[in-house]
Amino acid sequence: MSITRREILSIPMLAAAQSVPAPTQFQLACMSLPYAPFPFLRALEGIRAADYRYIAWGTTHVDPAGNRAPLLDVSAPPQRARELNSLCRDHGLAPVIMFSMVNLEAPEAVDAYTRRIEQAAAAGIPFIIVFGKTEGGGHANVIRCLQQTGPLARKAGVTLVVKQHGGNTATGQHISRILREVAGEGVRMCYDAGNVLDYESADPLPDIAQCWRDIRAFAIKDHRNIPKDEDCGPGFGEIDHYKLLSTVMRTGLTMPLAFENIFEPLVPRPKDPASVDRLARRAREYIESVLRGLSATTANSPQA
pLDDT of residue 195: 96
Report if residue 13 sits inside a domain. Answer: no
Alpha carbon 189 to its chain centroid, in Å, reads 8
Tell me whether residue 54 is exposed, middle or buried, using C-beta atoms within 10 angstroms of its C-beta: 0 to 12, 13 to 18, 19 or more.
buried
Report if residue 4 sits inside a domain. Answer: no
Give pLDDT < 50 ranges for the chain: 1, 8, 11, 14-17, 302-304
Let me know: does 24 contact 291? Beta carbons within 8 Å.
no
Report if residue 7 sits inside a domain. Answer: no
pLDDT of residue 298: 75
Residue 166 and residue 92: Cα distance in Å, rounded? 35
Residue 48 and residue 56: Cα distance in Å, rounded? 12
Report if residue 3 sits inside a domain. Answer: no
CA dist list (Å): 140 to 36, 107, 137: 33, 11, 6
pLDDT of residue 153: 98
Distance spanning both ends of the chain, measured CA to CA: 38
Report if residue 2 sits inside a domain. Answer: no
Domain that holds residue 183: 23-298
Report if residue 115 sits inside a domain. Answer: yes
pLDDT of residue 182: 96
pLDDT of residue 1: 45
Report if residue 11 sits inside a domain. Answer: no
Q: How many domains does the chain have?
A: 1
Report if residue 257 sits inside a domain. Answer: yes
Q: Indicate which CATH number applies to the domain containing 133.
A: 3.20.20.150
